[in-house]
Structure 1
Amino acid sequence: MHNLNFKPKAFLFDLNGTMINDMEYHTLAWYSIMTEDLGAKLDYENVKKEMYGKNHEVLERVFGKDKFNAEEIERLSIDKEKRYQEGYMPHLALIEGLDHFLERTKEANIPMAIGSAAIPFNIDFVVDGLNIRRYLDAIVSADDVKTSKPDPETFLKAAAALNIAPADCLVFEDAPKGVESALNAGMPCIVLTTTHTIEEFEGYPNILGYITDYNDAKLNTLF
């Protein structure tokens, strides 16, 4: 880490790829819908690059703003999330070490929140499926913000819900757009290398360090 002296007053977690290693299943669900159902000429890697923001934003980036009406977007979104949950359910698990990290944080009386572009349907699937709601003091979902990451709204709302100044929050993220969102919110960030390579995060000055899971000894400096 670049700043071993930073002592956060709150932890803000992205969800997908950060608390659970599930981004492959989101991508597979979208890939199936886009290529098989909607006829898009995209390979898996190109679909993966679009995996950020709200569902309607993903569809608009790939197909254009006028391709689907609101009813069609809602139907496609529900279909995608059902395919994702069906595929990921047998593998539902916290990233290694996170269970102990959450417990340690709770014992240290450091508040925690989720700030995610996921819809409540998916957040509840994870939070209740893994029985971690007791650790969380706030949840900000796609339904709670007007503008998705890299806009800072998600993390700023999470900090406000905890009544903690943005500069005193530490964000855990796995995606460049999420790190950019934290930067725009004035928050330092730790990156999980579950989804992207370290090289993909070049140029972000708010990154304190990189970890593969929550067993990393560098996290001990946060308490």
Structure 2
Amino acid sequence: MITTKAKAFLFDLNGTMINDMAFHNHAWHNILTKDLGASISFEAVKKEMYGKNQDLLERVFGAGHFSQEQIDQISIEKERRYQADYKQHLRLIDGLAAFLERAKGHGILMAIGSAAIPFNINFVLDNLNIRHYFGAIVSAEDVVNSKPDPETFTKGAAILGVSPADCIVFEDAPKGVEAAKNAGMKCIALTTMHTQEEFTVSDNVIAFIEDYNDPVLTDLF
């Protein structure tokens, strides 16, 4: 049973609102190995998929390996491939459409806090027609420091005018849960891409769910 009540819900996007992380994994693995010549496994890429695209490239190749122009080109090409492969599968995670409507009806403010670039966030929000639910959208381009730094979530809360203690974050990635903790926020973790055991920081997690049909979520209202 969840006893925490919140004034605001902050959602990560990929893997949290849409179940698309395997498509990101394939796109990145293809770019890194076939285009850029890295020797890295599919599973190893999965573990690196947090934070900004630039951060991922620097973790794999080292800082300074690519110019900023090259990083931007690689990033856009990766996202083009991801979108081309995923678009026919694009849909909200089960139960989320009703959950967003219920939250809106209860006057709960909502924001997106994602390490994705606007190109990908707009792809999701506009194709699924859900932009109107969110009073704040924080992307990779809106922060200096990406997750697990708390800036993504603290900035979203600030735009909504809500204190961190009054927010609940929805996340699918261990580093995202850690970012929520660093922001002083409770978190609900989705196991779309990672098992419960992979969340090494979880003392701020009030529930693990597979989708938004989980009855535990009724305690939020």
Quick check: TM above 0.5?
yes
Question: Counterparts of 1:216 and 1:146 in 2: how far apart (Å)?
Answer: 35
Check whether the contact 2:178–2:201 (CA below 8 A) recurs between aligned residues. Answer: no
Residue 27 (structure 2) aligns with: 29
Question: 1:204 Cα deviation (Å)?
Answer: 2.1
Equivalent position of 1:92 in the other structure? 90
Which ranges in structure 1 are unaligned for 5 or more consecutive residues? Answer: none
Distance 1:111 1:66 in 2: 40
Partner of 2:157: 159
Of 31, 53, 63, the residue aligned with 2:61 is 63
Partner of 1:5: 3
Find the counterpart in structure 1 of residue 52 from structure 2.
54
Q: Match of 2:193?
A: 195
Tell me which residue corresponds to 1:183.
181
**Residue 69 of structure 1 aligns to which amino acid in structure 2?**
S
> What residue number does 2:142 align with?
144
Distance 1:81 1:172 in 2: 23
Secondary structure of the residue that 2:147 maps to in structure 1?
Answer: coil
CA distance, structure 2, for counterparts of residue 58 and residue 202 of structure 1: 20
- Kindly report which structure 2 residues correspond to 1:56-135, keeping only aligned pairs within 5 A, or say none: 56-135=54-133
Between the two proteins, the alignment pairs up a number of residues equal to: 221
Query: CA shift at 1:203, angstroms?
Result: 4.1
Which residue type is aligned with residue 56 of structure 2?
V
Residue of 148, 169, 172 corresponding to 1:171: 169
CA deviation profile, 1:174-219 (whole Å, cap 9, x unmatched)? 0110000000000000000001000011442100010000000000
* TM-score with structure 1 setting the length: 0.98
- Structure 2 portions without partners, runs of 5+: none
What is the letter of the counterpart of residue 8 of structure 2?
Answer: A
Identity of aligned residues (%): 64
In structure 1, which of residues 199, 202, 220 is the aligned counterpart of residue 218 of structure 2? Answer: 220
Could you state the TM-score of these two structures normalised by the residue count of structure 2?
Answer: 0.98
Equivalences for residues 34-49 of structure 1 within 5 A: 34-49=32-47
